[in-house]
Chains A and B, each alone.
Chain A
């Protein structure tokens, strides 16, 4: 198990694996590059932020998003079909009394298309093993102090589902445009390690 995917030994192992697959005729170099380019094209937290801003400003969209995110995404020109197969997306909504945070304890499952490449700490063994056990303490280390009464749910993604947090709309933002609201949303907010 690797805690740091960007390490040199892992990168070398990935390259050897790619070469074996190409040698065996399973996949071509160009095909591989194309698949990676397709997966990463437009993969950015800007996408997740746009979804959040729409949900904050359009109550009907918010309800459809929480009920069936895959069906709602095309309304903002997005989908979960960028990979080998369409992944299921579940959006979980923070409220005044509930907070959600994401993890993948087995590896690093994460909605890359909507949140951009995952931060290195998301893949670290420390985050993966600790957030399921003591989320309140881990969130505090990220600078997010939750009131004692807040119910915390940790979503451990280990199958075909990907998760995204719908943060609470900050106070004092009435009248702001969808684009202005989207600019407030961070990747950490979409993972649940920041308030927005």
Chain B
């Protein structure tokens, strides 16, 4: 599986609220960030935790978020490690 997203691309974190284990911190759900780099490929933690025999192996990205977008204030940046299925491309019209 090739990495879908490239450094500099803007992505939105999916807003799903799964019942079981997930590695999407709540504070980034629905937020738009910038791909910093692809870290490598690992088994999707949500499926490993659920005992799926052959969990999906996906690229994991470092995604940077502006504090102003997350909290409405602050000049810093927060980076979060996110599996590919946690994020989607932001369309040119911003939707």
Contact = CB atoms under 8 A, between A and B. Distances in A.
Interface string B1-45: 000000000000000000000010101000000000001101001
A159 B76 contact: no
Interface residues of A, number: 20
B81 A159 contact: yes
A152 B77 contact: yes
A194 interface: no
For the complex, would chain A's binding face be called helix, strand, loop or mixed by DSSP majority? mixed
Contacts of A132: 27, 70, 78
Contacts, number: 62
Interface string A145-174: 000000111111111110000000000000
Contacts of B74: 133-134
A82 interface: no
Interface residues of B, number: 23
B77 A133 contact: no
A158 B78 CA distance: 12
Contacts of A116: none
A160 B42 CA distance: 8
Interface in B58-84: 60, 62, 64, 67, 70-71, 74-83
A90 B79 CA distance: 12
Interface string B47-62: 0000000000000101
A133 B73 CA distance: 9
Contacts of B79: 153-156
B76 A152 contact: yes
Nearest to B67: A133
Contacts of A159: 23, 39, 42, 45, 60, 81-83
A170 to B, nearest CB: 24
A144 interface: no
Nearest to B41: A160
Contact of B81 (A151, A154, A156): A156
Nearest to B21: A106
Interface of B: 23, 25, 27, 39-40, 42, 45, 60, 62, 64, 67, 70-71, 74-83
Interface of A: 88, 90, 105-106, 132-136, 151-161
Q: Which 6 A-B pairs have the closest CB atoms?
A: A159-B81, A152-B76, A154-B78, A156-B80, A158-B23, A153-B77
